[in-house]
Amino acid sequence: MAETATQRLGRLLTMVPWLMNRQGIDIAEAARELGVNQEQFVEDLQLLFVCGTPGHYPGDLIEASWEGGRVHVGNADEIARPLRLGRDEALALIVALRALAATPGVGAKDAIERALAKLEDAAGAESRRAAQVSVSLEVGEVEQQRLEQIREALAGPNRLHLRHYNPTRDETTERDVDPMRVVSLEGRWYLEGWCHRAVDVRRFRLDRIEDLTILDVDGTPPAGARPRDTGASAFSASPGDVLVELELAPGATWVSENFPVEGVERGEDGSQRVTLRAADPTWVRRLVWRLGGGATVVSPPELAEEIRSGADRALQAYGVH
């Protein structure tokens, strides 16, 4: 989605004080830290130096330069302080900090409490409203213990030895893992690290780690190990995804409003034909079974066949043929 003129203004008002406190910063680093590409960043600086206080004589204008790749911004006293936190800005930080504060095992409790108190103070009324939005990052007793052990290993860094249960294969395996991070995703905590058994980065659900020991071995992951993508799980489209075409009965058209579909053709009877991309067809199978005839997979034919035979096998348990 393209940035609106007003959103860009908000970004510039944050960028100016940030840069004024980092005079001479490398242009590539500044752009990266500010979350824009370098081309956009230069356009931003070009916009700044034609703005200024009434009169707009050269001495009134903001100074912005990037000679030799070093960024300098000055003569912008009026906007040298950032704008106070907006509603959603305060909300985002306060909700996440409160969630962390209420989660045992994540550590840094003291810093979280102090940061939260200062932010609530600065945000005033916004912080009281933020109480209406909350996130609970469930941590069970076992998960809490695992979290604490993994944080200890990360601080080393030490290698971990773990016994892990995989329910899909119904098997328990023993692995040595160099920990990279613990992530909470959709209500579950996972250890992510370099698995010496898989010789790759793997993610393990904490409540499925049956046993965990910190080894007296250096746990630095290989230089090339990268965290796994945590994009919006099943719904983030990528080039390798399966393109699925679905026929939706009139009562099931909510699907096209709730999932990122790429094309919608509407039939005269209120039905829809939609296409969507799925990284893992599992959720499409589940969706279609759930809809009980409200949706039909038109293509790919392999997926349609899996859904048919899955339903057929399920029905055999009820003696239905």
Which region, judged by CB under 8 A, interacts with other proteins, from 65-73, 196-204, 214-222, 294-302?
A: 294-302
Of 21-50, binders to other proteins (CB under 8 A) are: 21-22, 33-35, 43, 47-48, 50
141: which residues sit within 8 A by CB, 6+ positions away?
Answer: none
Task: Pull the structure tokens for residue 239.
Answer: 């080039």
Residues in contact with other proteins, counted by CB under 8 A, come to a total of 127
Task: Pull the structure tokens for residue 243.
Answer: 């393109």
> Of 30, 31, 73, 182, which one interacts with other proteins (CB under 8 A)?
182
Farthest-apart Cα atoms in the chain, separation: 87
Q: Do 158 and 143 touch, CB atoms closer than 8 A?
A: no
Q: Which is nearer to other proteins, 74 or 107 (CB)?
A: 107
Q: Do 73 and 62 touch, CB atoms closer than 8 A?
A: yes
Residues 285 and 262: their CA atoms lie apart, in Å, by 18
If binding is defined by CB under 8 A, does position 168 make contact with other proteins? Answer: yes
Cis before 167? omega within 30: no
Which region, judged by CB under 8 A, interacts with other proteins, from 64-72, 174-182, 195-203, 210-218?
A: 174-182
Residues 203 and 321: their CA atoms lie apart, in Å, by 40
If binding is defined by CB under 8 A, does position 314 make contact with other proteins? Answer: yes
Q: Do 269 and 288 touch, CB atoms closer than 8 A?
A: no
Residues 241 and 44: their CA atoms lie apart, in Å, by 36
> Of 96, 198, 218, 280, which one interacts with other proteins (CB under 8 A)?
96
If binding is defined by CB under 8 A, does position 264 make contact with other proteins? Answer: no
Q: How far is the CB of 52 from other proteins (least distance, A)?
A: 6
From residue 45 to residue 74, the character string flagging contacts with other proteins as x (rule: CB under 8 A) and all else as - is: --xx-xxxxx-x------------------
Of 211-240, binders to other proteins (CB under 8 A) are: 230-233, 235
Which region, judged by CB under 8 A, interacts with other proteins, from 65-73, 163-171, 194-202, 214-222?
A: 163-171
Q: Do 295 and 304 touch, CB atoms closer than 8 A?
A: no
Q: In this structure, what are the phi and psi dihedrals at residue 117, rounded to the nearest 5 degrees? A: -60, -45
> Of 57, 187, 223, 268, which one interacts with other proteins (CB under 8 A)?
187
Of 99-138, binders to other proteins (CB under 8 A) are: 99-100, 103, 106-108, 111-112, 114-115, 118-119, 121-122, 129, 132-138
Instruction: Quote the DSSP letter at residue 206.
Output: G
Q: How far is the CB of 306 from other proteins (least distance, A)?
A: 9
Q: Which is nearer to other proteins, 66 or 182 (CB)?
A: 182
Strand pairing class (188-195; 171-185): antiparallel
